[in-house]
Structure 1
Amino acid sequence: MKRFLGKRKLVRIFISSEEKYDGQPLWEYLLKKAKEMEISGATVIKGVAGFGAHSEIMAFNVWSLSQKLPLIVEIVDTEEKITKFLRLANDWIEEAFVTMGDVEVIAYKHPKHGNP
C-alpha cells in the first residue's frame, strides 16, 4: 500500500518481560493499543541478555523456571500517530528506555491490499 511508504518514525521501547500494566504483560498491552490506534506496524523482540537503568543484567538461563528478559517493542508510523501513541503510553509505562528515529518505509506489502 503506497500510502505507508516514505518518511516515518521508528520508536523503540525497551522494557523487561516482567513489566505489567492493567494485569497483563506491558508488551501485550502496548501491542493491543497500537493496533487499536491503527498504527502501521509493531513488533515485539525478545532479547537474550541486556541491562538498563538499574545495571541489573537480565539474561536467559536454561535452568530458571521464570525468565526476566529484555524486550523491545518497535513501532513504525507517521510522526503524528507516534506522538499521540507515546503521550498515552506515558501513563502505561512505569519503567522503560524509549528511543525514536527517522526511517524510510520502502515496501509495505500485503496480498489483500495489492502490491505496487
Structure 2
Amino acid sequence: MHTVVEQTLLRIFLGEDDRADGRPLFEALVLRARELGIAGATVLRGPLGYGHASRLHTAKILRLSEDLPVVVEIIDEEARIESFLTEMSPWLVHKLVTLERVRVVRFP
C-alpha cells in the first residue's frame, strides 16, 4: 500500500561557480534547506547548458569545467517552500527559479 500527497517542487537553475557565504551556492542552499527541516533536496550537474545571455557552459576534454549548469531541486509543503524562497531570495538574484505542484508517492 502507498499514499499520495501533494507537495511543491522548487527548482533553482544556477552555475557551478556561483557562490554564497564563501561556499558553492548549491551547497549553501541544500545545507540551509536541511537546517530548516525541508523534506528533501538534490543537486543535479549538467554537462551542457546556457542561460539568458546565451553563453554556452560545457565540459570539454581539455578543461575540468566551464561553470557547468547546476539544478537544485527541493521538495516540501508549499508554505515551507515559500518561506525558504523568501529567506533565500538575496542569493537568487538573476537565477531562474520554478515551482511545480507535484504528487509524491510514499511507500511504507
- The alignment's TM-score, normalised by the length of structure 1, stands at 0.86
Structure 1 CA distance for aligned equivalents of residues 52 and 22 of structure 2: 24
Q: Which amino acid aligns with 1:86?
A: L
Once the two structures are TM-superposed, the CA of residue 89 in structure 1 deviates from its matched residue by 1.0
- What corresponds to 2:8 in structure 1? 9
The 4+ residue runs of structure 1 with deviation greater than 2 A are: none
Counterpart mapping for 1:4-43 below 5 A: 5-43=4-42
Residue 65 (structure 1) shift: 3.6
Whole-angstrom distance in 1 between the partners of 2:32 and 2:63:
31
1:31-63 deviation digits (Å, cap 9, x = unpaired): 000000100000000011011111111111121
Structure 1 regions of 5+ residues with no counterpart?
109-115
For the aligned residue pairs, the C-alpha RMSD in angstroms reads: 1.7
Q: Is the 8 A contact 1:17 1:70 kept in 2?
A: yes
More strand by share: 2
Deviation at 1:66, TM superposition (A): 4.0
For 1:87 and 1:44, the matched residues in 2 are separated by 20
Shift of 1:16: 0.3
Alignment of 1:45-64 (within 5 A): 45-64=44-63
Q: Percent identity?
A: 36
Task: Name the TM-score, length of structure 2 as normaliser.
Answer: 0.92
Q: Deviations over 1:3-37 (max 9, x none)?
A: x9500000100000010011110000000000001
Instruction: In structure 1, give the amino acid aligned to 2:59.
Output: F
**Letter paired with 1:77:** D
Q: Equivalent residues in 2 for 1:94-113 (5 A)?
A: 94-107=93-106
Counterparts of 2:79 and 2:4 in 1: how far apart (Å)?
A: 15
The answer for unaligned runs of 5 or more in structure 2 is none
Instruction: Report the number of matched residues.
Output: 107
